[in-house]
Amino acid sequence: MDVRKMRTFGWTRVELTRRPSRVLYPMAWGLLPLGFAFMMWLFGSSPEYIPWFGAASMLLLLVGGLAGVSSRFGTLNASKVGIGLVSICFGVMVWALVAQGTVSVVFGLGYSASATYVLVKALDFIFRDAGYVFEREWDAKQKIPSDALHDWDIKTTRFSQTCMALKRFNGNSFVQIYGVVRDGNSYLRFDLLGCQSKLEFKALNFGVEWPEFQAIGLTQEE
């Protein structure tokens, strides 16, 4: 599929607003208490405070992770993003176990470092995405043509601001259709996540009969 072909069927590309600073700020602060915890363990000073610093680090990193996830619709459908957030959540539990003496500080530090790496890779996946998102005006009372979507997981044919249909290419690459309401007008969005280049975009088979959507759009205009 080519971007120009999408336009001929009435879809216009949406320019995404990326705000990595919302993610980097809490992430940077999250690494600071983890560094303190490591130094305290290394020099054997105030060991009773190490779990508190470790848990604080995980919570701040979780805030950064959630900020990254909220920057794009449906990112939790990507397996690596879900794994990244769950790893950080478990990190808080790990430090609670460290405080109880169930597991060692070394284990807590090692797990936290690993979970942080997994989260960073997940956020890198989100922000490296090429941002192939398209939309077209759509009557909220009109159902989407499910027959025009081949090998898709149809959640609902009714207009909704949640995921209406989804098609996976692999665990971290998928396309979804959902509704958006802006300035009193309703739009249908076609959102591809996990594609990082124009060549990848052209090579994907979306399994969509675009004229069906165009025909419904023309009927609405009449």
* Cβ proximity of 132 and 94 under 8 Å: no
- 94 & 41 share domain: yes
Of the residues 103, 128, 153, the one at which a domain ends:
128
Q: Give the chain's domain count.
A: 2
CA nearest to 19, candidates 63, 71, 72, 85 = 71
Torsion of CA 175, 167, 119, 117, to 10 degrees: -110
Cα dihedral 183, 2, 168, 21 sign: negative
- 26 & 81 share domain: yes
CA distances for 208 relative to 162, 195, 218, angstroms? 20, 17, 17
Q: How many CB atoms lie within 10 A of CB 143?
A: 12
In whole angstroms, what is the distance from residue 97 CA to residue 180 CA? 43
In which domain, by residue range, is 160 found? 3-16+131-221
In whole angstroms, what is the distance from residue 122 CA to residue 65 CA? 9
- 68 & 142 share domain: no
- 85 & 107 share domain: yes
- 28 & 122 share domain: yes
- 99 & 160 share domain: no
Could you tell me the mean pLDDT of each successive run of 10 residues in the chain, 222 residues long? 76 84 89 95 91 96 92 89 95 95 95 96 91 91 90 94 93 92 92 88 88 67 48
So what's the pLDDT on residue 2? 65
- 195 & 135 share domain: yes
So what's the pLDDT on residue 217? 56
- 160 & 198 share domain: yes
In whole angstroms, what is the distance from residue 12 CA to residue 35 CA? 46
- 39 & 51 share domain: yes
Of the residues 77, 100, 128, the one at which a domain ends:
128
So what's the pLDDT on residue 34? 95
Greatest CA separation found in the chain? 76
- 203 & 171 share domain: yes
So what's the pLDDT on residue 10? 85
So what's the pLDDT on residue 95? 96
- 169 & 93 share domain: no
- 89 & 145 share domain: no
Of the residues 101, 128, 155, the one at which a domain ends:
128
